Chains A and B, each alone.
With several copies, the nearest count.
Chain A
């Protein structure tokens, strides 16, 4: 039995990092400022934009956020995954527009590649280069073996879909199939033959694209047949980090709605007096706490078990975290809009920024039903 730390491995260093993130976001990323930044053009048929603050990214990299989870051997700080979760949680609470989560996810995949080429890319991440994963097919499959990109003679062809923060990333890790299986390949985002077609998405704090590769020369970071394995090993970390983002955004929605319910008066009472408002908000809190406990426990399980002796338990916790967080994200968003009433239905109320981020988060790397179906096969056994 693996011994896990009582505090989820969330020690002084992690607390300091998290607290500095809190301060960073409170100094630089208030909801008010965010709204002015990303919500300038409400037009429903607007051109597709990609709005973020590269200056803030520069500061983040200087604070060591991208290096945090890069192994020391690859030039990083080698902090545990729970540190990345804390950063993701704070980023979610600020609905921060940046390639931070995508870069984390890329880091988790590269850490599983165990190749010199992968370590070279990790070093670039540690140095602050934003990255993303191009590993999803047109049918939105989250399975490591599914890809619409092929590789032949060292050249990538095909299209990767639903690539997150695509226009912020400077490098891409692409999954591609050859006769020998699925491998992983690194390409610079501006390499010849890479065409990034931006998607018109609802979430104002992200960008997304489908990216076509036409004869693109790529660096192999995981060999055919090893790429899907690396992805599978990285998925629990990815799921936990996205769950943490949802937890942070959920907490913002909860606290903001509570505050509104405590001040808005109807029928001579603050809204929060009414159990029709109070009790659903309590249910939102219960959901957030569940998601948070599961996310940190999944991360702690990954951190505590580098040899993967209890891998099934880790996988279980991560699926549970993502499933719970996805359901919470939808519920928290919906109640926040509803209880803000008329004002919550307007563009000028900041709630919509978080609502839209949560609806994006909930599907990212699989919605709740998807994860529960996998858990059913794991914990109950395949159905006849």
Chain B
């Protein structure tokens, strides 16, 4: 389904033309270093910096935050972010590095922060000058998110925070964190509050960021430890005790089920970034045509052909699901498709990369540090990384609970 296969409003059509024009004349060029598959895999500061420059130029051109209010640095448009996203995809631009800021922090700040805080933070968030991270997970609060132990204590006009966050992607680069924590130990859900916290300026002064190493060998996420960090009350979002409600705004956007469309660029092929595009079945077909498995071309194996087609059907269905989700006459429950997206998307990527193992046969043993690895070893890396997302943001087991309970109306499983 091509981008233009939609009928635009007049505002959208004009904006689309503008975007296309701007993107034609403002190509980000070749990166000076290897760009990873996504923002969550960023570990090289040089890669980050190059991507930040790109995000800022896109923001300055009005392609980021299009539907946000003007006073918060947005474009004040209606349903135009999706147009900008389509055009950036079409132009095969690099992705935006401030993914957590754009996808989770921005809508949460918009809907729940005080006016001053909002207008102070959002422009630098959109431009990518500030990188954001998310302080939700804790050693004892993974899928059971409400089990927060990090504690914020009110002292005078400020809050003093102590606790331990884990799996914090991008914390090693982040200026700001969205933080869910406990303010009342007596009430699991109503005892939570939500803050935005300037962490980079506080490193060594109540904040410690320690890198965690993934099973792939990459860094990219972190532990963040708070020891008597003092945070001003103006950085609290919504009421004390309303943290769970605010977190739901964050999570609904994370799951693609929020009110606002996340600014997202991408589509730059891995040809440009020195590796395979491991989220694309077309790239898998290319791999199959050039890989030998047990001495034969993998693309000729009827069983692997069937696996590839199965996954292509899932990809096409995912696209058509997004399209149908916008047609009220053809959906029974407004959240039925949006709440599926995280589950479907992450399992798609996992299964796609798993097929690549069988396609490569013996060569699937090879990794990024082997010059003979098909596709540079990126498929194996992608398979391992795929578990990050089937686990994170509510493991997929929890996503299935959510769908069964909220959409199908079944009783809670816990």
| CB within 8 Å for A208 and B215 given contacts A289-B340, A369-B304 | no
A246 CB-CB contact with B under 8 Å: no
A276-B400, A294-B316 are known; give 6 further A-B pairs, CB within 8 A.
Answer: A200-B371, A273-B410, A281-B404, A334-B354, A376-B302, A376-B309
- Cα(A370)–Cα(B33), bound, Å: 39
- Contact call B308/A380, Cβ cutoff below 8 A: yes
Which 3 pairs show the lowest CB-CB distances between chains A and B?
A: A141-B295, A140-B362, A200-B370
B residues neighboring A (CB under 8 Å): 1-2, 4-7, 137, 140, 142-144, 147, 166-167, 212-218, 285, 288-289, 292-297, 299-306, 308-310, 312-314, 316-318, 320-321, 323-324, 326-327, 329-330, 332, 336-337, 340, 343-344, 350, 354, 357-358, 360-373, 377, 380-381, 384, 387-388, 390-392, 395-397, 400-401, 403-405, 407-414
- Contact call A383/B299, Cβ cutoff below 8 A: yes
A-chain residues with CB within 8 Å of residue B6 when the two chains form the complex: 3-4, 6
A155 CB-CB contact with B under 8 Å: no
Residues of A123-141 whose CB lies within 8 A of B: 136-141
A139 touches which of B296, B300, B368 (Cβ 8 Å): B296
- Contact call B320/A363, Cβ cutoff below 8 A: no
| CB within 8 Å for A293 and B361 given contacts A266-B142, A275-B401 | no
A-chain residues with CB within 8 Å of residue B392 when the two chains form the complex: 342
B-chain residues with CB within 8 Å of residue A289 when the two chains form the complex: 317, 321, 324, 336-337, 340
- Contact call A383/B302, Cβ cutoff below 8 A: yes
B410 touches which of A138, A143, A258, A342 (Cβ 8 Å): A258
- Cα(A254)–Cα(B285), bound, Å: 34
Residues of A302-342 whose CB lies within 8 A of B: 316-317, 320, 323-324, 330, 334, 337-338, 341-342
A5 touches which of B7, B343, B363, B403 (Cβ 8 Å): B7
- Contact call A369/B358, Cβ cutoff below 8 A: yes
- Contact call B321/A278, Cβ cutoff below 8 A: no
- Contact call B362/A161, Cβ cutoff below 8 A: yes
* 24 cross-chain CB contacts under 8 A: A7-B326, A140-B293, A199-B372, A210-B372, A262-B411, A266-B144, A267-B147, A268-B144, A283-B400, A285-B403, A286-B340, A286-B344, A292-B330, A296-B320, A320-B317, A346-B215, A367-B293, A369-B303, A370-B293, A372-B313, A373-B302, A376-B308, A381-B299, A383-B305
Give A365 Cβ to nearest chain B Cβ, in Å.
Answer: 9
A-chain residues with CB within 8 Å of residue B369 when the two chains form the complex: 44-48, 200
Residues of A262-295 whose CB lies within 8 A of B: 262, 265-270, 272-279, 281-283, 285-286, 289-294
Flag the segment in A97-105, A223-231, A347-355 that touches B.
Answer: A347-355
A220 CB-CB contact with B under 8 Å: no
- Contact call B330/A363, Cβ cutoff below 8 A: no
- Cα(A363)–Cα(B291), bound, Å: 14
| CB within 8 Å for A269 and B410 given contacts A275-B401, A282-B403 | no
Give B165 Cβ to nearest chain A Cβ, in Å.
Answer: 11
- Cα(A209)–Cα(B414), bound, Å: 50
- Contact call B400/A1, Cβ cutoff below 8 A: no
Give A139 Cβ to nearest chain B Cβ, in Å.
Answer: 4
Give B392 Cβ to nearest chain A Cβ, in Å.
Answer: 7
A192 CB-CB contact with B under 8 Å: no
- Contact call B303/A258, Cβ cutoff below 8 A: no
Give A347 Cβ to nearest chain B Cβ, in Å.
Answer: 4
A215 CB-CB contact with B under 8 Å: no
- Contact call B329/A202, Cβ cutoff below 8 A: no
B-chain residues with CB within 8 Å of residue A273 when the two chains form the complex: 410-413
- Cα(A142)–Cα(B332), bound, Å: 33
| CB within 8 Å for A6 and B362 given contacts A200-B373, A347-B217, A376-B305 | no
- Contact call A293/B320, Cβ cutoff below 8 A: yes
- Contact call B312/A347, Cβ cutoff below 8 A: no
B-chain residues with CB within 8 Å of residue A90 when the two chains form the complex: none
Interface-centre pick from A202, A289, A294, A375 (highest chain B CB count, 10 A): A202
- Cα(A84)–Cα(B295), bound, Å: 29
- Contact call A201/B314, Cβ cutoff below 8 A: no
A112 CB-CB contact with B under 8 Å: no
Can you name the residue of chain A whose Cβ is closest to the Cβ of B318? Answer: A290
A344 CB-CB contact with B under 8 Å: yes
B317 touches which of A290, A362, A366 (Cβ 8 Å): A290
B-chain residues with CB within 8 Å of residue A372 when the two chains form the complex: 306, 309-310, 313
- Contact call B313/A320, Cβ cutoff below 8 A: yes
B-chain residues with CB within 8 Å of residue A254 when the two chains form the complex: 408
| CB within 8 Å for A296 and B365 given contacts A266-B144, A379-B312 | no
A-chain residues with CB within 8 Å of residue B360 when the two chains form the complex: 363
A185 CB-CB contact with B under 8 Å: no
| CB within 8 Å for A342 and B292 given contacts A6-B7, A275-B397, A281-B408 | no
Give B20 Cβ to nearest chain A Cβ, in Å.
Answer: 14
Give A281 Cβ to nearest chain B Cβ, in Å.
Answer: 6
B-chain residues with CB within 8 Å of residue A265 when the two chains form the complex: 140
Contact mask for chain A residues 92-112; partner B; CB cutoff 8 A; 1 contact, 0 none = 000000000000000000000
A8 CB-CB contact with B under 8 Å: yes
A384 touches which of B214, B297, B306, B407 (Cβ 8 Å): B297
Can you name the residue of chain B whose Cβ is closest to the Cβ of A384? Answer: B300
